[in-house]
Structure 1
Amino acid sequence: MIPLVAVAHGSRDPRSAATVRALVDRIAAAAPELDVRVSFLDLSEPLVTDVLRDLVAEGHREAVVVPLLLGSAFHARVDLPALVAEVPALRATIADVLGADLEPVAFDRLAAVADVSDPGLGVVLAAVGSSRAAANEAVAAVARRWQSRHGFRAVAAFASAAKPDMPAAVAKLRARGASRIAVASWFLAPGLLPDRIAALAREAEPSVVLADCLAGDPRVVSLVLERYATALAGAARSA
């Protein structure tokens, strides 16, 4: 079968790469017939270009690259296609990012640490942030859906490149009457930015509760395999 190359952003924090590698190990275990490989855009090894070159050296001519990214921002739209293009001997199909299909996972992580039926609850959905407005709006739309469906107050906050930041988001929820604050995670793995989010949240509200990152949920494994199958079918139709 055509190999699946999972590619995450990469981080200087070793916990991030370890979490991604554990996720990819679970993907491989769930689909033992597949050749599943882990890779990174930057900062962690192996780099995606090295993995793609290894596939060529082994005689492969095709691969499906599945971005372990939550937003369709610069890394997904620019960085990854450019890196794939550096290995022209391999016909690599890039699957969609994981994106909004992880919304139920993020909500369940939240519900594990906070009473989502509490009318006094205020929820900050914390994400990395992007210079691309559409990527930030996708996160804000998740927060609005939660507010509409579940009745608690909810806003998005961003670790970098976008507003509001965590202190402003907490202040906004307090102004809207929230008496308890919880932070939901829009991060796949732990790392420096989630740590920054957590520190700022505790400064703004010492009693805040923090939901876990998303990679440990088995639905992430299923979604990656679904992205692979969809991309593979699309590649077959266009061949």
Structure 2
Amino acid sequence: MKWMVKEVAELVGISVRTLHHYDKIGLLTPDEMTESGYRLYSAENLDTLQQILFFKELDFPLKEIKEMISSPSFDRQEALKLQRHMLLQRRERIDRLIATIDKTTKFEKGEKQMSNKEKFDGFDFSHNSYKEEARRKWGDEIVDQSTAAIENKSTSEQHEMGEKMTAIYKKLAMLKDTSPESVEAQVGINEWYDFLNQHTGHHYSLDAFKGLGQLYVDDERFMQNIDQFGNGLATFMRDAMKIYAEKSK
């Protein structure tokens, strides 16, 4: 099922103008567009919108929201868990502030004693640890560069980029049961290295490329995404990337 922009606006309670703005800045682009130019939103688009609004409710700027949900390592379930912690933390602080207002009201009526310290109970200007965790997990300079590089491409270029990436994964998946040091494996990994440097907006040094390969195995989400092309592909790519980086120095 697909929803038009007006239907989404009414469902969520936000303006059509807001949805147009999200589309314009690349934060939420509808999956389809009719021949008449009408936006059509999918169920997946609605899930993404929910994530955007949760982060927005928690005072994340749109730029940060965009880079986090665009991160290859972004995990919706993990984000929901983090957002819940942040909302509980906010509720606790609001409850304390309401209690401080009630105490202050009684104090000014002469009904209750109140220390100067109690007058400021609930105010908290320290950094939000959960917000910092979210930025650390999904927001970084490489993601900014990669997202910008992709958005600067036309729709056809983005489609071509996706096809190239999939083709490389499939080619490497066919080699995953061979030695990562073989000529064929190293040619395939060289193709992957060139692809990343040409299309992601970030130039990977050999050391960074080696580190990226290790991340494919250390981060379960990366491993799952890569291993969908073949069980064990992430480990094979890590080993092949390490060999490539060390031999290319």
TM-score by length of 1: 0.27
Relative contact order higher in (CA < 8 Å, ≥ 6 apart) = 1
The structure in which a higher percent of residues are helix is 2
Greater Rg over alpha carbons, structure: 2
The structure in which a higher percent of residues are strand is 1
TM-score by length of 2: 0.26
